[in-house]
Chain A
Amino acid sequence: DFFDSGHTNNWAVLVDTSRFWFNYRHVANVLSMYRSVKRLGIPDSHIIMMLADDMACNPRNPRPASVYNNANQQINVYGDDVEVDYRGYEVTVENFIRVMTGRLPESTPRSKRLLSDDRSNILVYMTGHGGDGFLKFQDAEEISNVEMGDAFEQMWQKRRYHEVLYIIDTCQAESMFQTFYSPNIIGIASSKVGEDSLSHHVDPAIGVYIIDRYTYFALEFLESVTPDSKKTLGQFLRVCPKYQCRSTVAVRTDLFQRDPEKVLLTDFFGSVRNVEITMETLSLGNETTNPQMSNQVCRSVNMSDCF
């Protein structure tokens, strides 16, 4: 079946809310997700990436123009054809809410807009420093879970999404989606309320922690996903069990209509256009000469829908 998931286009909003060198890991987190969604087929024009600081070309980076997920330099998550839409001081709560709800100034370029519609599946990934009910932006302001929930409700009312996969990697991350009340959202958080999310390991050459546990294992899982793989969202929800994460990955599925075990992961992380192969030969002659053929192809559908 074509698009039985009900969506026709995919978007990704990837947000790093932390500035400063010691928050290197948060930039690496976002870039890990960026790498995965780009590899699985979402183009840069459909990815809104917000990075609050420049780690790749930071003078402290001993390996310029690269950000690695691992001290052994396994994957350069920054890549060599990256595009960042909001960076530095542009990463604010206001800009984030404006992007999500589409209330941007008129002269905002298309690359900085979330031009989604009611057939869009949106992956929202956020990382930074958070607490019970809030996520800090650049150590200067914060977004609360109530604001976050209201933003999604506004998006739903404005028919800006079909389904949302909301992933957040921060301390007490679960609290961020506890207040959501709009339909078709599935939430994954790296930790429960009262728990800290932990980082994975230090790169001695860089001197700070370079990636967070949840995202490290999520990336490891996503690396095994290909555009045509049948891995499901249900499998992704089980990524990073407690012995790996040291925090409990929390999931919220009550707003989501479908069974996660039957939802393909590429419905959110990829941009897969299905092609149906038919073994029958179709004659593309005039419909007047072969009306029966047309009827066969378009059973029970209006003729106008065929063309």
Chain B
Amino acid sequence: MAASIAIRLIFFILLFGCVFAFEDDFHEELLVKPMKNGQVYTSFQFTTTWNVSVEDEKSFEHYHLFSKSLGEVLSHYSVQELHLSLTQGLWHYEKWGYPVHDAPPGAELWVWFRPGTENIDQTWTDLINVLSGMFCASLNFLDHRSVVTPHLAFRPTGVTPSHHQRLFAKNIRYATLPNENVCTENMTPWKKLLPCGARAGLTSLLNAYKVYDTSYHSLGVHFRPICMSDDCSVHGVELVQSLAAVFDPTLTSRSQDWSLKKLFARTMSSSCPVASSSIAMVDLSSNFSSPFTLDPLPSREEIALRGRIKVRYAVYEIRDFARNQRVFNLAAKYKSEMSFSANEPPVVHAQRFQTGYGQAKGGVMSLLYNHHPKENIIVNYLEVIPWFCRVYLHTLKIESFDKTVHDISANGTIRKPMHFHYVPGKDRQRPYHLELLLDLPPNSVTRLSFEFDRALLKWTEYPPDANHGFYIGSAVISTVVRTAKHINDTSESFFLRLHTETLLITLPTPDFSMPYNVICLACTVVAIAFGSIHNLTTRQLIGGISCGENAVLV
């Protein structure tokens, strides 16, 4: 008996030893940024860190806070880094500045596979199928017809593996699905990955009826390996789940005032008990142009340096409110009813549109703005064009203009790209992949354009709504800038990624009822013409003899 107790004790010690060996943390964060035009940008960020190494496959066996369903997938498909976003609406850089996590309209997925992963293309195919089931999105359409291996546009955001650096550079896959819808069905599985689900903490604010009633909303899942110690001798992994939405409180009431209750129609009465930190922050930078007061008063104020720009934040420790059994409803009251001012545009932004007319030819034109008064900015421009738009590379033209010149139809200074990477597309097999490294002069607009031919699809390749048109995914602009109103970066210069508009093009679409019409018409002609001619030519017409009432025509 004593022996069995001793064994049990040892077992429990071992069990607790295992439990306590977990070093994982969960942080939840809400950033509210009132913008000068009256809109309110809210960005949720849920971060789980865990002290396991992606290189050690056995480490993904015992789970605590990290989502098991996702962890198993990442480990099974040798994922080094994964970034998925599901977005609806377009981020307006000129009006809103830069978001915390940039995302194009629709779905975007880019994955770094671990070095030594065999047959990456097959692994990607299996992974997108699993992710499509996991997030209720049609990610399985991100197949070889839309996937590319970017050359410079995407770098790992986390720790890179210590060996096989050269081979590792080819282990990335990138694809977008510009026409993917995002709705509650995507948020449901996204919430399930969180340790507190939708029950407590900041997630309890996420009311689908309000979040999806906004002009821009974006869901994101970002997984990367990170350093857990200062000298980076201990590696860990980080899972960031983000949700952003841009609300417009002025649409429903004649005042700029906003509160969490007004935006989400919910308040928060508890914090997630397993969260190490649970904070809400309000960006006070628009407080100068349109002053507002916050209720309740913040726990503290923090000043963050963004390059040379100071940003003030009001910080709320949500657990203090939850501990005192108080409902947390952050509210801002404006001094004047409506005081809007225009935002100055950020340093770099871009616009893209299609050119040309008719159903045979088309083109793409992008305008890349550099608003910096003195400095050149080097940007990488990535364009992935579906195979059915056959790009003519010789039509690629890059010109730059002084920003003060409004007529950009004129000829500007011809620019040559500093670096050039082009993989031509193949029909039904791979997209056109163009990457350019461009040097944007200060205070300038750079115009980039090329032309393409629209392909005629096979009739089974047309989607059911072919007349709606076909999408070309966003172009991706990556750059390093010195100053910008970014949120999560305090270094002197930092990396920036922007996405342009998606394009909706029409392909020559046949009238699908045409074969039916032809069959009907042909049958009618045969029935009438052939039938009557056959009748006339084969029947013998003899005049009948009238026999009283029974006149017969044979």
Contacts and interface: CB of A to CB of B under 8 A. Distances in A.
A89 B209 contact: no
Contacts of B207: 80
Interface string A90-118: 10000000000000010111111000000
Contacts of A20: 465
B188 A81 contact: yes
B126 interface: yes
A43 interface: no
Contacts of A79: 184
A90 B465 CA distance: 13
Contacts of A87: 136-138, 181, 185
A140 B182 contact: no
A64 B212 contact: yes
Contacts, number: 87
Nearest to B208: A65
Nearest to B129: A107
B140 interface: yes
B119 to A, nearest CB: 13
A82 to B, nearest CB: 5
A138 B209 CA distance: 27
Interface residues of A, number: 33
Contacts of B259: none
A240 interface: no
Nearest to B180: A88
Nearest to A88: B138
A3 to B, nearest CB: 30
Contacts of A107: 125-126, 129-130
B209 A84 contact: no
Contact of A108 (B133, B137, B462): B133
Interface in B186-212: 188-189, 207-209, 211-212
A78 interface: yes
A203 interface: no
Nearest to A58: B181
Contact of A89 (B134, B212, B464): B464
Contacts of B138: 87-90
B132 interface: yes
Nearest to A84: B185
Contacts of B180: 88
B67 to A, nearest CB: 15
Nearest to B185: A84
Nearest to A139: B464
Given A54-B183, A65-B213, A83 B189 contact: yes
B539 to A, nearest CB: 36
A112 B129 CA distance: 10
Given A54-B183, A65-B208, A82 B188 contact: yes
A88 B132 CA distance: 13
B184 A82 contact: yes
A109 B126 CA distance: 9
22 contacts: A52-B464, A54-B181, A64-B213, A66-B209, A81-B188, A82-B188, A83-B188, A83-B189, A84-B136, A84-B185, A87-B137, A87-B181, A87-B185, A88-B138, A90-B141, A107-B126, A107-B130, A108-B133, A109-B134, A111-B134, A112-B132, A112-B133
